[in-house]
Amino acid sequence: MSGRDEAVHRSLLRLHTDVDARARPLAARLGSRLQCRRGCTPCCTDGLTVFEVEAERIRRCAVELLRNGAPHPEGACAFLDFDGACRIYEHRPYVCRTQGLPLRWLEEDEDTGEIRDRRDICPLNAEGPPLELLSESDCWTIGPSEERLAALQHDLGPSGARVALRSLFRRDGSAE
């Protein structure tokens, strides 16, 4: 692996660490509203894709699983075990690190040009104060972390191609 690729990998680890550090207190503040637990898998859907930079991290960190393991049956994320636990939890991609949190993003209205605050949350976590009443600090704001991730992907290679998590397992059970 080249020095540049190694630097990108270290930067991705820092990004994941930063995301976890920001998500942890947010999840703690939201307390019992979040129903996300080991075995809660509705967001662990089949067909999830990640940038190549995150796929490479999984390849590096889950060598044994990719070589000798098999993907979860189709219909759920390939990395779930049969009890609904993530087999790559420590190395999971960015999208999985923020699942379940109230999400917030800014969107421009095409007709008026007005910037609107949009919000969403997993239906299992919907019970509680309406999302519109949550402070900005009680929502995960989409944008800054995704921009960092996209920049890392560009540093690795400008293609920006997405990789299906399931494709990291080869049909014969060996790593891609």
Continuous segment of H or E residues that includes residue 18: helix 3-30
Q: Which residues contact residue 160 at a Cβ distance below 8 angstroms, ignoring those fewer than 6 apart?
A: 51, 150, 153, 154
The residues spanned by each domain of the chain are 3-168
Calpha distance 144→135 (Å, rounded) = 18
Mapped onto helix, strand or coil, the DSSP state of residue 108 is strand
Q: What is the pLDDT along the chain (176 residues), one digit of tens a residue?
A: 678 889 999 999 999 999 999 999 999 999 889 998 888 899 999 989 999 999 999 999 999 999 999 999 999 999 999 999 999 999 999 999 999 999 999 999 999 999 999 999 999 999 999 999 999 999 999 999 999 999 999 988 777 789 999 999 975 444 44
